[in-house]
Amino acid sequence: MLDETSRINHASIALLVTGREIDAQKITELLEMEPTRVIHEGDLLNRLPEIRARDDEWMYVLQLEKPKGRDETLLGLLQHLMDKKAELQEIRDFGAVALRLTVQSNRAQMAYSLSPDTIEALHRVGLPLDVSSLSWGEVGM
């Protein structure tokens, strides 16, 4: 029988700032974080079918290691964001700010558990948390 860890192939958390004509350099300086990727309105996101970005997007992505319980990587990011609450508020004046938890799996069933201290830290940061999941749907668990 597979344990919970073997069900998840990939989990990540992203800090996203989205808007029209956002200043990526200013966001980088305010948060003291180098973005993983910056997308500009009109950038090609997908070739077939052709999909282009509707807005600018600044993103910082971290890979998560522990699908069950306390993930130090996620808690570290949340602590940094708690220390940057004033800067996050300034960024909200020109862009939407959110966190996105993404879980991908080759299994039909998957889960990512958030520990109570992580949920408390998310609450203190005060950003929306979007959850995205993708499963290729293999069976046989």
Q: Write down the pLDDT at residue 7.
A: 47
Cβ 118 vs Cβ 73: under 8 Å: no
Task: Give 10-35 pLDDT, tens digit per residue.
Answer: 889 999 999 999 999 999 999 999 99
Output 106 or 139, whichever has higher pLDDT: 106
Percent of the chain with pLDDT over 90: 70
Q: Among 8, 3, 17, which Cα is nearest to 127's? A: 17
Task: Give 91-116 pLDDT, tens digit per residue.
Answer: 999 999 999 999 888 776 677 888 89
Q: Write down the pLDDT at residue 141.
A: 46
Query: Would you kindly state where each structural domain of the chain is located, as residue ranges?
Result: 4-16+59-138
Which residues have C-beta within 8 Å of that of residue 62, sequence separation ≥ 6?
A: 12, 13, 14, 73, 74, 77
- The phi, psi pair for 5, rounded to 5°, reads -60, -40
pTM, 2 dp:
0.85
